[in-house]
Amino acid sequence: MDNNEKQLINKGRLQGFVVTFFVMLVIMLVMGGLMFFFMIGSGKFNASLFYGSPDESILDRHTEKKIETLQNIIEKNYLDEYNREDMQDGLYKGLFESLEDPYSVYYNEEEYSEMTADTEGVFEGIGAYLQQDPETKVVTVSRPIPDSPAEKAGIKTGDVIVEVDGEDVQGDDLNITVAKIRGKKGTQVNIGVRREGRDGVIRFDIIRDSVESMTVDSKMLDNSIGYIQIIEFDDVTSSQFLKAYNALKREEMRGLIIDLRDNPGGSVKTCVEIADELLPEGMIVYTEEKDGTKDEYTSSGDNFYDGPLVLIVNGNSASAAEILTGAVKDYKVGTILGTTTFGKGIVQRILPLGDGTGVKLTIASYFTPNGTNIHNVGIEPDEELELDVDAYLEDGTDNQLDRAVEIIEEKIK
């Protein structure tokens, strides 16, 4: 789970000539014949050449002249100091903003390095899981990691991140906000949040530390019913899931509840590995690109779990969480309980540009085993049940989990 995003000086003016420097860079990359890799969620794969010449270049003489004119206007008239590299970054970012796709983003060198860093499940930061609404760009704390600097400082689930070290981060891409929050162990960061029921911005001084990314929680409930919560699908999640799953099986669980509420997704590779432990032989998910190229991900069926199974989902269950949910629903091997999921049925690819920078670009749609694309639609549960928030806040009563237990007990009988 994906430092300072440099602010574009007089960004409003520069959006008008967003198209050019990036295209010049792309042309140079094409000439260099660079190779790339891609990620679906955060799973990395080798691939062939991606770069090619556009059918119709947006880099024409009129555009070049307009950029020169605008740059000259800024140079001769703009009151404050400005940075040439910041301006170029703004151009590149603006090109992707023009796609009006919240998932397609340009990353400068610092941002790209942070996003692609291999943390192996351990990172240095404050220890909080964040999620972002792709339409509003609001970044919310989905939960602080137990015993983390964030939890100790008082960061709470539902807090909206609005500032990092006094800098307004509202509207920034989630990966950029994460990059600003992360930092070396022992250093301090000031996080400003807005909290429901409180006026103004609440600010926390937090000392960063090494934090292990615990993405799975599990326990045995009454009547030998196993419970596994998957917080997100990181590279470390499949091993954490297997450890929890096998421990519950050794305790002879009679049914399994998988909690995917507020799970924003992540690595499809990891999701497929977990699905392979649960599903019968067959398709888990397939993706389809612009040119019709398809990639299929299947289950061997060797580890098919044939006991009572319930998945709990809500409107924040997205992406890889929906892949697992869609497969379970299509195969009718479990009950989907809760509310309609988020509806993110598209795939992004991470492309390095050879100079330390990179882009994230939407390149494919994904489909459930029955051929359903759930983008902007979501997955309807088999049984609709809203969380009783008042009861949960009052005494921790979780009516959705209680109902999941009832469903398992009915199936056991």
Residues with active-site annotation: 319, 344, 348
Which 8-state DSSP code applies to residue 281? S
State the burial class of residue 107 (Cβ atoms within 10 Å of its Cβ: 0-12, 13-18, 19+).
Answer: buried
CA distance 262 to 14: 37
CA distance 128 to 208: 11
147: helix, strand or coil? coil
Which 8-state DSSP code applies to residue 93? H
State the burial class of residue 120 (Cβ atoms within 10 Å of its Cβ: 0-12, 13-18, 19+).
Answer: exposed
Which helix (H) or strand (E) covers residue 324, if one does? helix 320-331
Residue identified by tokens 């809500």 is 314
**What are the beta bridge partners of residue 124?**
210
State the burial class of residue 199 (Cβ atoms within 10 Å of its Cβ: 0-12, 13-18, 19+).
Answer: exposed
The structure tokens listed for 305 are 């779990």
Residue from 197, 169, 194 nearest 182 by CA: 169
